[in-house]
C-alpha cells in the first residue's frame, strides 16, 4: 500500500502562538502535496531553555495550544497529524516532552513521552540537563495504522537501539523520530544514527527536525530525513530554515528488506563472560 508521508522542519521560537501559526501553514502545505501522515519536530510548541520563560508558557495537555490546533487540523484536513513533541505541564510540577498522534477524525490515536533524557556535557562548554526539567517516559508505543505499524522515539532516543529493536519486534514497520539535534552533535552523528536505526530494524525512519538559530540562543542541525528500510535517504531538508519534505512509502519494502536480511529473526540470546588479565 503506497502512501505519501511528510516531515516538517521548523525553527520554533519561544512563543507558542507564533509556532502554532507556522505549524498550521506547513501542515497545510504538506496536505496540499498529498501527504496522509504529517510529522512535526520535537518541541514544536516552543524551544525555550530559560526555565522561568518555559514555566510561563507551559499548559496541561487539556488546554495546550499546539495540541488543540493539531487536533482541529487533523480533523479538518483528514490526515494523520503527528506533533513530534511539545512541552506539557504535569500535575507533579514536572514537564513531559510529549508527542501526540491524531487521526483523520481529530481523535487522539497515541501519545508518547520521550524516554531518554539529554543529560550531556559537550565540547566548547555546551552542557544540557534535560532531566532537571522533564520527567522521562517509561513506555514504548506502537500504533497500528491503516498503512503500517508506527513506533515512536524522540531525538536522544536515537542513541538507544534497544528501543527501536523492541518496537520492531512488536511489529513496527515505521518509526518516527522527531528531533531538535544540536548542531554540534548533528554534524557528528545525525545521519549515521538515523540510517543505522532504519537498517538494523528494517523500518522506514521519519525524522522531522528543528533547524537553525533559535530565539533562546540554541542552534539546531536540521537535515530532516525520510529513510527507507535499506538505509536509503528518500528525502532530506537543508540544515537551516523551514521545509516540508515528502516521500511515497510502501510497507512491502519493509517486508522485502527483512526477508533479505532477517536479523530480527536471526537474533539469539547469549551469555557475556568477562576475561580480566
Question: Helix, strand or coil for residue 217?
Answer: coil
CB atoms within 10 A of CB 51: 11
Judge whether 99 and 111 are in contact, CB under 8 Å.
yes
- 3 state SS of 238: coil
Return d(Cα 219, Cα 197) in angstroms, integer.
24
DSSP tag of 132: G
| CB of 154 closer than 8 Å to CB of 99 | yes
Q: Which of 114, 173, 242, 253 is catalytic?
A: 114
DSSP H helical segments within the chain, as ranges? 16-32, 51-57, 65-77, 161-169, 183-185, 191-201, 252-260, 263-266
Q: What is the dihedral of CA 103, 171, 258, 261, to 10 degrees?
A: 140
Phi, psi of 68 (to 5 degrees): -65, -40
Which of 116, 249, 264 is CA-nearest to residue 200?
264
Concerning whether 114 is annotated as a catalytic residue, the answer is yes
The per-type count for the chain, helices as H runs and strands as E runs, is 8, 16
Give yes or no: 110 in active site: no
Q: What are the angstrom distances between the C-alpha of 15 and each of 50, 54, 82, 184, 248?
A: 13, 10, 20, 25, 33
In the residue annotation, 155 being an active-site residue is answered as yes
- Which one, of 2, 95, 4, lies nearest residue 43 by Cα? 95
Tell me which of 11, 71, 155, 242 is the catalytic residue. Answer: 155
- Exactly one of 11, 42, 167, 242 is catalytic; name it: 42
Known catalytic residues are 42, 114, 155
Amino acid at each position: 500500500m503506497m502512501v505519501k508521508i511528510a516531515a516538517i522542519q521548523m525553527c520554533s521560537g519561544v512563543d507558542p502562538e507564533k509556532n502554532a501559526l507556522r505549524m498550521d501553514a506547513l501542515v497545510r502545505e504538506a496536505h496540499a502535496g498529498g501527504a496522509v501522515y504529517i510529522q512535526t519536530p520535537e518541541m514544536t510548541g516552543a524551544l525555550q531553555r530559560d526555565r522561568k520563560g518555559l514555566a510561563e508558557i507551559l499548559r496541561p495537555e487539556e488546554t495546550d495550544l499546539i495540541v488543540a490546533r493539531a487536533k482541529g487540523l487533523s480533523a479538518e484536513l483528514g490526515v494523520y497529524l503527528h506533533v513530534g513533541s511539545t512541552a506539557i505541564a504535569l500535575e507533579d510540577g514536572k514537564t513531559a516532552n510529549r508527542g501526540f498522534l491524531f487521526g483523520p477524525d481529530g481523535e487522539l490515536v497515541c501519545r508518547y513521552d520521550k524516554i531518554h533524557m539529554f543529560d550531556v556535557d559537550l565540547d566548547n562548554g555546551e552542557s544540557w540537563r534535560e532531566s532537571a526539567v522533564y520527567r522521562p517516559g517509561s513506555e514504548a508505543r506502537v500504533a497500528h495504522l491503516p498503512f503500517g505499524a508506527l513506533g515512536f522515539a524522540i531525538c536522544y532516543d536515537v542513541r538507544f537501539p534497544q528501543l527501536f529493536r523492541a518496537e520492531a519486534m512488536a511489529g513496527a514497520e515505521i518509526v518516527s523520530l522527531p528531533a531538535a539535534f544540536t548542531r554540534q552533535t548533528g554534524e557528528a552523528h545525525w545521519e549515521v544514527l538515523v540510517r543505522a536505526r532504519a537498517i538494523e530494524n528494517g523500518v522506514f525512519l521519519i525524522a522531522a527536525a528543528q533547524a537553525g538559530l533559535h530565539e533562546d540562543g540554541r542552534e539546531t542541525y536540521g537535515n530532516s530525513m525520510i529513510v527507507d528500510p535499506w538505509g536509503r535517504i528518500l528525502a532530506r531538508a537543508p540544515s537551516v530554515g523551514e521545509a516540508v519534505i515528502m516521500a511515497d512509502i510502501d510497507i512491502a519494502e519493509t517486508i522485502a528488506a527483512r526477508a533479505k536480511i532477517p536479523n530480527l529473526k536471526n537474533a539469539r540470546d547469549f551469555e557475556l563472560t568477562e576475561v580480566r588479565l
